[in-house]
Amino acid sequence: MRVLVTGGAGYIGSVAATILIERGYEVSILDDLSTGHTELLTPGAKFINGSLLEKATVLSALEGVEAVIHFGGKSLVGESVQKPEIYWNTNVNGTRILLEAMREKGISKIVFSSTAATYGQPKSIPITEDSQTKPTNPYGASKLAVDYMLTSEAIAHNLGAISLRYFNVAGAYQAKSGWLTENHNPETHLIPNVLKATSDNPLKIFGADWPTEDKTCIRDYVHVIDLIDAHIMALDKLEPGKHEIINLGCGTGYSVKQVMDAAKAAVGHQIPSVIADRRAGDPAVLIADISKAKSFLGWSPTRDLQVMVFDTWQSQNASNK
Ligand code: UFG
């Protein structure tokens, strides 16, 4: 079976394309390389260099495809506040064009990369799929809009869809062609920043006055390999006319200080850090309820925080050589 991976030159998409090929799927990748990297492209996959916003390109990328895993889109919270129009266009309009093209080609299976940012500030922890969705930024709002789009497309046009709402994706994958890892510019994510910290450029801890045990923010980290396993399991669970929404995390929270401790164990020295102001829009605690992922997909995460930090560290070392 051939799967189209949109955003396959990005961090998560490249791990998906690689693992799909390793498991015997045929893969096409559609990516405009606006934030992706050619060196992350999977050997053996068919690459289409183009945008979700160009319908003719999307139609040609769908050639011979049976299912789509849709990662392509913009994913920076801060940028989405500054330039919301890009998020509405790429994430929402891009997906609308993709669904239109899929309809024309008679392709009715999609797994979508949604986010915990659709929930906003949670009223209670852990967050279930039935928790209130009240995003606090245009990034989360644009992903929530796509979730609604998929629900209506499933009802009206018999699409089989699953939205996977990621919490904090971390770690790296060592493919035969090299490490597939996070390489955002600018890098905003905690784990790569912790590992890059030096005494000249210490990690900024965004707030040490949160209502948590050690006063730093708590997040639910999930290894990118576990995350992709869930996508592949989701491909087998797609049913015409149904749209499911499923959280993906570990179901456990770690504070910024606990992440720094895990990094210290990996690198063998203290992580240089300074306390900075809280970052606008950060909630104190985000932890997923992952019971639906377990019961519906039969999925459980198997790699803990220490593995995520260690893999990211190894991948950073390899790319610095
Ligand atoms: N943090 C720091 N210093 C840094 C970077 C992060 O203290 O240099 C803290 C943040 O304040 C936060 C935690 O580390 O408490 C994790 O921050 P990340 O930026 O790594 O991740 P977020 O939780 O902000 O964001 C993640 C995804 C987003 C998604 C969001 C949904 O990366 O795409 O979860 O909840 F929108």
Structural element, H or E, at residue 107: none
Residue in 147, 168, 247 to alter for ligand 1 test, most ligand atoms within 8 A of Cβ: 168
Tell me the CA–centroid distance for residue 167 and ligand 1, in Å. 10
CATH number of the domain encompassing residue 262: 3.90.25.10
User: Residue written as tokens 């509405």?
Assistant: 88
Q: Report the predicted TM-score, pTM, of the whole model to 2 decimal places.
A: 0.97
Residues whose CB is less than 8 angstroms from the CB of residue 142 and which lie 6 or more positions away in sequence, other chains included: 73, 74, 80, 87, 88, 91, 92
**Do 242 and 226 belong to one domain?**
yes
Count of domains observed in the chain: 2
DSSP code of residue 42 = P
| Structural domain boundaries enclosing 133 | 2-170+222-247
Quickly list DSSP for 108-155: -EEEEEEEGGGTBS-SSSSBPTTS--B-SSHHHHHHHHHHHHHHHHHH
**Do 116 and 195 belong to one domain?**
no
Of 25, 119, 139, 254, the active-site residue reads: 139
**Do 182 and 72 belong to one domain?**
no
**Do 92 and 131 belong to one domain?**
yes
Q: What is the pLDDT of residues 114-142, one digit of tens each?
A: 999 999 999 999 999 999 999 999 999 99
Tell me the CA–centroid distance for residue 107 and ligand 1, in Å. 35
Ligand 1: nearest atom to the Cα of 256: 14
**Is residue 320 predicted with pLDDT exceeding 70?**
no
Ligand 1: nearest atom to the Cα of 170: 20
- pLDDT, position 315: 95
**Do 34 and 47 belong to one domain?**
yes
pLDDT band at 319 (very low <50, low <70, confident <90, very high): low
**Do 141 and 261 belong to one domain?**
no
Q: What is the pLDDT of residues 211-245, one digit of tens each?
A: 999 999 999 999 999 999 999 999 999 999 999 99
**Do 226 and 215 belong to one domain?**
no
d(CA 62, CA 98): 9
**Do 210 and 125 belong to one domain?**
no
**Is residue 321 predicted with pLDDT exceeding 60?**
no
Residue of 32, 30, 28, 40 lying closest to 3 (CA atoms): 28
Quickly list DSSP for 306-320: HHHHHHHHHHHHHHH
CB atoms within 10 A of CB 88: 17
d(CA 245, CA 161): 9
Q: Are 158 and 108 in contact (CB under 8 A)?
A: yes
Residue in 189, 224, 247 to alter for ligand 1 test, most ligand atoms within 8 A of Cβ: 189
Stated length of the chain: 321
